[in-house]
A = this chain, B = another copy of it.
Amino acid sequence: MEIGLIGLGKMGGNMRERLRRAGHTVIGYDRNHEIADVGSLTELVDAFTSSPRVVWVMVPAGDPTRDTVKELGELLSDGDVVVDGGNSRFTDDKINADHLAEKGIGYVDAGVSGGIWGLKNGYALMVGGSPENVAKVQPFFEALKPEGDYGYVHAGPVGAGHFAKMVHNGIEYGMMQAYAEGYELLTAAAVVEDVPGVLKSWQEGTVVRSWLLDLLVNALQEDPNLDDIKGYVNDSGEGRWTIEEAINHAVPVPVLAASLFARFSSRQDDSPAMKAVAALRNQFGGHATTKAGQAATAADLGGPGDTIDS
């Protein structure tokens, strides 16, 4: 069957390949014309030989996605369906759907997980939309999803797909941070001699076995002390939105929030907050402060022991 696919980056490019392997005809568009099958959205829409048309948008969340959906609203027709497979905030979905509905165009949101492994293993799909619209996209979902009984869910009405994906990512942040804190403690305490070996052993039989653990073991096999990597971690929007939605619903999420904040901290060369704490200690206790630009002395590294405190 025919599908339009907009955005052929790391995710979209692999998805085109997986769809083609399943026998589908993919009309791919990308700003980078070298990798595109057509030269414009108009050409993409015109290239379909049958209807209704299904067009999958796989571009960065925010304005790029919103703008693409608007443009598709100009080009598509009654009965066609747009799928937003990007990492959009779920609150965008209703707006997009309402906009397209004015012309009778359907809208489906799809949270997609799997990263660079999706081409081989399939992409997990969390889908939101009306049963009618979802049905039109179903053949492509079947091609993209992993084999077997899992990896696909029609989670609810428009927005439910991206909401599920957002929470998925929030959980992911928490799990990654849990492993990371445990890893740091193992290395800091130096009671265990073979830290990568311990993590590898956990891959079977333990409560903490998971795909993320497998990946961490991989990473440690390549670089046993993570010497070549900096502890600098970006965040995508979904971790932030998870906390905001939790706040909206008065759900306590201490672990998910701590994971996000650890990423924020990892990107700071110096922390204004901790400058303020250091300034306060200096004010009340005469504690030496480390001047900006000055290396910490051995004495600074100590924990307990100051005679003077508060």
Contact = CB atoms under 8 A, between A and B. Distances in A.
Interface string A200-220: 111111111111110110111
Contact of A277 (B233, B237, B293): B233
A229 B273 CA distance: 11
Contact of A160 (B9, B193, B252, B308): B193
A231 B290 CA distance: 8
A261 to B, nearest CB: 4
Most B-side CB within 10 Å, residue of A230, A248, A274: A274
A245 B189 contact: yes
Nearest to A266: B274
A200 B112 CA distance: 15
Contact of A256 (B181, B188, B296): B181
A152 interface: yes
A211 B207 CA distance: 7
Contacts of A208: 168, 171-172, 175, 210-212
A264 B251 contact: yes
A236 interface: yes
Interface stretch (A43-51, A69-77, A95-103, A114-122): A114-122
Given A274-B262, A304-B61, A202 B280 contact: no
B115 A185 contact: no
B205 A272 contact: no
Interface string A231-265: 11111111010111111111111111111111111
A9 to B, nearest CB: 5
A124 interface: yes
Given A113-B310, A205-B122, A192 B236 contact: no
Interface residues of A, number: 167
Given A189-B245, A215-B283, A292 B146 contact: no
Contact of A155 (B10, B116, B197, B264): B197
Contact of A263 (B258, B277, B305): B277
Nearest to A157: B193
A4 interface: no
A263 B192 CA distance: 25
Most B-side CB within 10 Å, residue of A145, A260, A308: A308
Nearest to A230: B290
A59 interface: yes
B189 A249 contact: yes
